[in-house]
Structure 1
Amino acid sequence: MDYKKFFSHIPAAMVVLSPDYKILAATEAYLQITMRTRAQILGKHFLLEAFPDKELSYEENPVRVSLDKALQSKKVEYLDVIRYDLPKPESAGGGYDVRYWEASHTPVLDEEGNVEFLIQHTSDVTERELAKLALSESEEKFRFMAEAMPQLIFTTDATGKLTYLNKRWESFTGIPIEELLKDGWQDVIHPEDMPIVAAKWEESFEKGTDMQLELRKRDKDGVYRWHLCRTLPMKDEKGNILMWVGSSTDIHDTRIMVQELLEANEQMSALSDQVQVAYMKAENERKKLERLIMQAPAMFCILKGPEHRFELVNTQYQQLFPKRQLQGLTVVEALPEVIEQGFVQLLDNVYSTGKEFIAEEVLIRLDRQDNGQLQDVYLNFIYQPLYEAEQVAGILVFAYDVTQQVLFRMKLQQLGQA
């Protein structure tokens, strides 16, 4: 049997070294993964000539250390994963090709028990290591985004057991994360809301669907504040749930402010038929409402008449369209891009029926810079009819931007699927 030919065609990356680390033979598989020919490496010192390390000295080279151990112990030595970038031939563009390797060094003894050869069996594990690095980077990006978000972020495993809470939980509740991850989170929820939370979560968990509800959570000062809580399942390509991701957004101030605004609007409508004294009082209430609208941290505007003409636009709403004139124009004149998206029809319906319209996380494509380029914006909004003499006279629009929240959830879904 031609053993030399037999060894050369072994389907494994192997190289034979002398005790002084000169290359004596190599398989075709070894030559292929190292991008070398036999003429380039045979007879050369394995580490000093054939594969010198461009960063580490000969004494620091972990391959030399492993070879020395195998030579001295006369036993197989296993080399941990190392990075060794292979110089690419000029025909392939030159430079270096990033590679990660695992190897074993097996001593071959002669009849007297001395090491006659050393066989290195090499495995190219670049794809596996790069995948591990990518996964680690994805996890770090997720953690960074979760910690940077103004919401309370949490995750559970597929069974619903809490696995992660971002630092904002601790700063909001004053309770250590470790305690919250056990059963401490239940003490944060208002006792009256707990049965609703349990029922909604059970329903969502059984059906494998998103959950959304408003509930009260106790802060570190013992004050219960309203939150909008949303959870969604991350699924693999077969539809199996891998984990659950949730967010909790503080809507306490917004909820109270909207309630106050609606109450103020009702008062103004009720006072519209009173005498002059009552009219003055209503006028004061109107000015109060206007100040609230103009100073509110959310987006407000008032549309008057069946043509929906902008009568009042606060700063937050105007910032959606920094280069456009809104006040005094109708919605069709000021925002022609929303016509085909159906929002004018929604306004017409609210005006004609007197029924409010509420929407959450609605995608609206807006020409925000007035340059013909539409941008995706996600909004939660309410169209509330305004009455004068028991007739609808206009519409109060309240909205807030949830684009970052929606994009973050989409990113989490992408990460889970990856």
Structure 2
Amino acid sequence: MDYKLIFEHSPEAMVLLDPDLKILGANKRYLEVTMRQVDEIVGKHFLLEAFPEPNVPYEQNPVLHSIQEAIAKGQRVYLDVIRYAISRPDGSGYDERYWEASHTPILNEKGEVEYILQETKDVTEREETKHALRDIEQKFSFMADAMPHLVDADDASGRSTYFNKQWENYTGIPVERLLAGDWKEAIHPDDLVAATKAWEKSLETGEPSQLEIRIRDKDGDYRWHLNRYLPMRNEDGTIKMWLGSCSDIHDVKNLVQELLSSNEQMSELADQVQMAYRKAENERETLERLIMQAPTFFGILKGPEHRYELVNPKYQDLFPHVELIGKTVAEALPEIADQGYIDVLDNVYRTGETFEAKEIIVKLANAEGKLEDNYLTFIFQPLYDEHNQITGILIAGFNVTDKYQLKKKLQELGVAVDDV
């Protein structure tokens, strides 16, 4: 049997050393991974001449220690993955690589070490991939911990695998207990059943879920959160994991309830709506529900051109024959422009000064295009972004035409009527 031929063509990278660490031979695979020719390394000291590590003193070289251990024990020793630089053949510098290796002493008939066989493998690609994945995981963990939301992850079967630091900071429950299922202790008892059913339905159907629940903080107070669960899928469509998030909507929810229960003071209502608009931009559906259900007419204009972004049904009732959304006031309502209100809007947008009108006549076109007198009480109020820059104008008010006409009739009958 030609053992030399087997050694030469082995798929494993192997180099043969004598006890003084002189290179006696290397197979083809070893020469490929080390980018060497056999005559460049044979006869040279393995670590001092052929493959010196520039970043580590010789006495501290882990390869040297592994070989010495194998010689001392007289048996194979495995070397953990190490980062080891080898010089480029053209002398242009070093390549930093990751290697796995084993060192096997070959004994003669007297039991003495005659050769050392190193089997090595370049695992650079694998290790760099592991490092890249670890880096991604660290970045994800950092971002998740830095987010103001409560973020968690579950495997495809629904088993909790991750809770961000905000969960622990908010609830006071350590992450280890959260992973063990103690997150249920933080959910309001009246909401836990519905939350559990929604989660079980998502696991069964693979569909996302969304639910408003109350979560207890570390001081024992409950706050409303919007809880969402989304599935992450593999290329074949199977669910790989679930990502959950809980966003604090307590202030917005309370504000909605307050605004829906009180509409007596229009200006106060407008201020609160503006506050909700600025604070709850990311909870737009909640804000729109508030505006749409309000007994006051509301409209939101964006930008210096005063383009309609949102109107509620009460506002649309003033102009039933016109599609407002997406159009500027001048485009949609030329009769308004003719009465000078564009200039008023421009001034509010430019100066930030609120404009208020009480029972003022505004001529509005009906479906036939005929102008009709309407008595309106309204305000134009600037909207600000987080940088205190004006981004649009809030319109809020009441159509008091019927009340105004009734007041006039009573006055004509001699009935004293106080102005409202």
TM score, norm. by length of structure 2: 0.67
Task: Give 1:197's aligned residue.
Answer: 195
Task: Give 2:205's aligned residue.
Answer: 207
Task: Give the whole-Å Cα distance in 1 for the aligned partners of 2:147 and 2:401.
Answer: 44
Q: Is 2:322 aligned against 1:351?
A: no
Please give the secondary structure, in 2, of the residue aligned with 1:132. Answer: helix
Structure 2 unmatched runs, 5+:
282-286, 292-297, 321-393, 403-420
What code does the residue aligned with 1:60 have?
Q
CA deviations 1:105-149 (Å, max 9, x no partner) are 111122222111111111111122112212211221121111101
Structure 1 unmatched runs, 5+:
269-284, 304-309, 319-323, 332-342, 355-382, 392-418
CA deviations 1:52-80 (Å, max 9, x no partner) are 01111111001111111222222111111
Task: Give 1:170's aligned residue.
Answer: 168
Please give the secondary structure, in 1, of the residue aligned with 2:195. Answer: helix
Task: Give 1:276's aligned residue.
Answer: none
Task: Give the whole-Å Cα distance in 2 for the aligned partners of 1:238 and 1:119.
Answer: 45
Task: Give 1:62's aligned residue.
Answer: 62
What code does the residue aligned with 2:55 have?
E
The structure-2 alpha-carbon separation of the partners of 1:83 and 1:311, relative to structure 1 and needing over 3 Å to count, comes to same
Answer whether contact 1:83 1:101 (CA < 8 A) is retained.
yes
Please give the secondary structure, in 2, of the residue aligned with 1:222. Answer: coil
Deviation at 1:182, TM superposition (A): 3.0
Task: Give the whole-Å Cα distance in 1 for the aligned partners of 2:180 and 2:119.
Answer: 48
Task: Give the whole-Å Cα distance in 1 for the aligned partners of 2:270 and 2:149.
Answer: 30
Please give the secondary structure, in 1, of the residue aligned with 2:219. Answer: coil
The structure-2 alpha-carbon separation of the partners of 1:156 and 1:60, relative to structure 1 and needing over 3 Å to count, comes to same
Answer whether contact 1:351 1:385 (CA < 8 A) is retained.
no
Task: Give 2:141's aligned residue.
Answer: 143
Task: Give the whole-Å Cα distance in 2 for the aligned partners of 1:257 and 1:125.
Answer: 59
What code does the residue aligned with 1:292 have?
Q
Please give the secondary structure, in 1, of the residue aligned with 2:189. Answer: coil
CA deviations 1:344-383 (Å, max 9, x no partner) are 8x989983699xxxxxxxxxxxxxxxxxxxxxxxxxxxx9
What code does the residue aligned with 1:16 have?
L
The structure-2 alpha-carbon separation of the partners of 1:115 and 1:138, relative to structure 1 and needing over 3 Å to count, comes to same
Q: Is 2:304 aligned against 1:325?
A: yes
Partner of residue 288 from structure 1, selected from 268, 285, 305: 268
Answer whether contact 1:150 1:168 (CA < 8 A) is retained.
yes
Task: Give the whole-Å Cα distance in 2 for the aligned partners of 1:288 and 1:76.
Answer: 83
Q: Is 2:19 aligned against 1:39?
A: no
What code does the residue aligned with 1:44 have?
K
Deviation at 1:6, TM superposition (A): 4.5
Task: Give the whole-Å Cα distance in 1 for the aligned partners of 2:198 and 2:34.
Answer: 58
Task: Give 2:85's aligned residue.
Answer: 85
Q: Percent of pairs identical after alignment?
A: 48
Q: Considering only aligned residues, what root-mean-square deviation do their CA atoms show, in Å?
A: 3.4
Task: Give the whole-Å Cα distance in 2 for the aligned partners of 1:384 and 1:198.
Answer: 42
Answer whether contact 2:79 2:101 (CA < 8 A) is retained.
yes
The structure-2 alpha-carbon separation of the partners of 1:298 and 1:203, relative to structure 1 and needing over 3 Å to count, comes to closer
The structure-2 alpha-carbon separation of the partners of 1:66 and 1:147, relative to structure 1 and needing over 3 Å to count, comes to same
Please give the secondary structure, in 2, of the residue aligned with 1:90. Answer: coil
Task: Give 1:20's aligned residue.
Answer: 20
The structure-2 alpha-carbon separation of the partners of 1:11 and 1:168, relative to structure 1 and needing over 3 Å to count, comes to closer
Task: Give the whole-Å Cα distance in 2 for the aligned partners of 1:77 and 1:390.
Answer: 96
Task: Give the whole-Å Cα distance in 1 for the aligned partners of 2:245 and 2:74.
Answer: 58
Deviation at 1:243, TM superposition (A): 2.3
Pairs aligned (count) = 315
Task: Give the whole-Å Cα distance in 2 for the aligned partners of 1:50 and 1:245.
Answer: 52
Mean Cα deviation higher: 20-29 or 99-108: 99-108
Instruction: Map residues 225-304 of structure 1 onto 2, 5 A cutoff.
Output: 225-264=223-262, 267=263, 285-296=265-276, 297-299=279-281
Deviation at 1:298, TM superposition (A): 3.5
Task: Give the whole-Å Cα distance in 2 for the aligned partners of 1:138 and 1:241.
Answer: 20
What code does the residue aligned with 1:80 have?
D
Please give the secondary structure, in 2, of the residue aligned with 1:78. Answer: strand
Answer whether contact 2:299 2:315 (CA < 8 A) is retained.
no
